[in-house]
């Protein structure tokens, strides 16, 4: 059962610690004792005072200690800026004392970082990782992968959901730094306030790094994966399904002839992914089309039959003009940009996420695609 903590203050901190302590006792069971160290049960009255717990093997008589850092929330940036220095200090003081962090919820990315640095953790959704050498302890359990309602950011907090976030993610991925929030706001047409808030969230997740106000590093692979976790290709873009009786090759030729000189469509999904990183054959042909250019006449011209199931062609109503931005021409047809292709595959159904990972791998090996300068971007809406 999840615990709904109060927002702050002494009671919330004590509740987190007491609940975490009980969860630890349940994990260790008979033959072990898990207690707050003498003198520490009543010490801390807020989030800023550490607790200490002792874990003892009653059979072996060995005891290990953990300094427990309580966090109302935790991000990868917090690990780097606060916990690593504390871990170094704790290890200097006593080699049999280590660091543990407790929080209402810890994201998978933050968990990975904590494990990489040997910092034990426990959250109230049962994400737990505890390791010690003497006595020998190793516990690892998986809880909720997404933040529960009680631990979620406020409704006003900025996230990677929605079309506005996708615009910023695309610019950050395709354009090499350095640049500032004001440059990004101008390039995307988004408000400076929104861009600044989202950049702050991305910095907390170590997806960007700044020197003062200037972004100098973008973890574009992590950024694309993070955005894909907040979207779903077929939910985000309304679509119509068809069968191509004359075959996909015939349809591609028809599309090439109909749209050769116009920027009204862009191919994505498996067919576009295979041109970058061949991983499989077959799959649905997915085509973005500007909503005002999709008609019954076009369907008849292309020789398509509309179906509700078993479609081999999907026409996607582009949710935002950004899907056409920085697109490529492949075999006389317009394909989405590599970053958009990766996003679409990673957030798509079936085998598309695996194809997305293959596209990311190819992009990382050949970063020539990431060659835009922020000051040369004109109107991305007209792409």
Contact 226, 274 (CB under 8 A): no
Contact 268, 336 (CB under 8 A): yes
Listed in sequence order, the residues at least 6 apart from 103 whose beta carbon sits closer than 8 Å to its beta carbon are: 16, 70, 71, 72, 73, 74, 121, 123, 124
Contact 374, 184 (CB under 8 A): yes
Contact 201, 320 (CB under 8 A): no
pLDDT band (50, 70, 90) for residue 260 = low
How far apart, in whole angstroms, are the C-alpha atoms of residue 283 and residue 7? 48
pLDDT at 7: 47
How far apart, in whole angstroms, are the C-alpha atoms of residue 265 and residue 250? 17
Listed in sequence order, the residues at least 6 apart from 217 whose beta carbon sits closer than 8 Å to its beta carbon are: 177, 208, 209
First-last CA distance in the chain: 50
Residue where the block lists tokens 């957030």: 347
pLDDT at 42: 47
pLDDT at 228: 95
Residue 62: CB atoms within 10 A of its CB come to 16
- Express each pLDDT in 280-328 by its tens digit: 777 889 999 987 778 888 888 888 999 989 999 999 999 899 999 999 9
Angle at which helix 220-229 crosses helix 338-346, to 10 degrees, equals 40
* Percent above pLDDT 70 for the chain: 89
Top-confidence range, 73-82, 151-160, 172-181: 172-181
Q: How many CA atoms lie within 13 A of 80 on its CB side?
A: 13
What are 43's two structure tokens?
């010490």
Residue 310 vs residue 258, higher pLDDT: 310
Q: Could you tell me which of 286, 309, 285, 306 has the C-alpha nearest to residue 296? A: 306
Domain with CATH 3.40.1350 in the chain: 9-151
- Express each pLDDT in 37-69 by its tens digit: 875 544 444 555 678 999 998 877 788 999 999
Q: Tell whether domain 9-151 is in CATH 3.30.70.
A: no
Domain with CATH 3.30.460 in the chain: 235-357
Mean pLDDT estimate for the chain? 87
Q: Could you tell me which of 183, 178, 205 has the C-alpha nearest to residue 196? A: 183
- Express each pLDDT in 88-125 by its tens digit: 888 887 777 899 999 999 999 999 999 999 999 999 99
Mean pLDDT of 142-152: 76
What are 348's two structure tokens?
């798509």
How far apart, in whole angstroms, are the C-alpha atoms of residue 66 and residue 94? 10
How far apart, in whole angstroms, are the C-alpha atoms of residue 316 and residue 318? 6
**Among 8-22, 33-47, 241-255, 356-370, where is mean pLDDT lowest?**
33-47
Q: What pTM, to 2 d.p., does this model score?
A: 0.77
Architecture of 235-357 per CATH? 2-Layer Sandwich (3.30)
Q: Could you tell me which of 268, 192, 205 has the C-alpha nearest to residue 236? A: 268
How far apart, in whole angstroms, are the C-alpha atoms of residue 132 and residue 119? 10
């Amino acid at each position: 059962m999840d615990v709904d903590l109060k927002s702050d203050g002494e009671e919330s901190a004590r509740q987190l610690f007491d609940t975490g302590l009980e969860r630890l006792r349940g994990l260790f069971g008979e033959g072990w004792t898990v207690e707050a160290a003498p003198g520490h049960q009543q010490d801390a009255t807020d989030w800023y005072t550490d607790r200490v717990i002792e874990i003892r093997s009653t059979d072996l008589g060995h005891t290990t200690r953990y300094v427990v850092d309580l966090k109302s929330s935790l991000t990868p940036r917090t690990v780097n800026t606060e916990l690593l220095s504390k871990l170094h200090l704790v290890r200097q003081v006593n080699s049999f004392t280590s660091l543990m962090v407790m929080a209402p919820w810890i994201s998978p990315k933050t968990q990975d970082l904590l494990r990489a640095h040997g910092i034990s953790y426990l959250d109230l959704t049962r994400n737990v990782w505890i390791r010690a050498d003497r006595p020998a302890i190793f516990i690892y359990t998986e809880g909720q992968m997404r933040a529960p309602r009680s631990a979620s950011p406020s409704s006003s907090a900025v996230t990677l959901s929605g079309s506005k976030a996708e615009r910023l993610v695309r610019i950050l991925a395709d354009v090499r730094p350095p640049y500032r929030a004001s440059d990004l706001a101008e390039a995307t047409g988004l408000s400076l306030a929104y861009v600044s808030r989202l950049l702050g969230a991305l910095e907390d997740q170590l997806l960007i790094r700044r020197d003062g106000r200037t972004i100098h590093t973008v973890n574009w692979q992590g950024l694309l994966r993070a955005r894909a976790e907040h979207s779903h290709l077929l939910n985000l873009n309304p679509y119509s399904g068809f069968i191509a009786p004359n075959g996909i090759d015939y349809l591609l030729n028809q599309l090439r002839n109909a749209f050769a000189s116009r920027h009204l469509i862009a191919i994505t999904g498996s067919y576009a992914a295979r041109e970058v990183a061949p991983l499989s054959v077959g799959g649905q042909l997915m085509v973005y089309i500007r909503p005002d250019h999709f008609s019954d006449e076009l369907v008849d011209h292309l020789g398509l039959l509309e179906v509700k199931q078993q479609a081999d062609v999907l026409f996607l109503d582009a949710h935002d003009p950004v899907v056409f931005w920085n697109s490529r021409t492949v075999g006389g047809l317009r394909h989405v940009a590599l970053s958009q292709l990766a996003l679409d595959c990673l957030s798509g159904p079936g085998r598309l996420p695996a194809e997305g990972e293959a596209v990311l791998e190819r992009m990382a090996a050949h970063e020539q695609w990431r060659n835009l300068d922020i000051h040369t971007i004109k109107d991305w809406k007209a792409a």
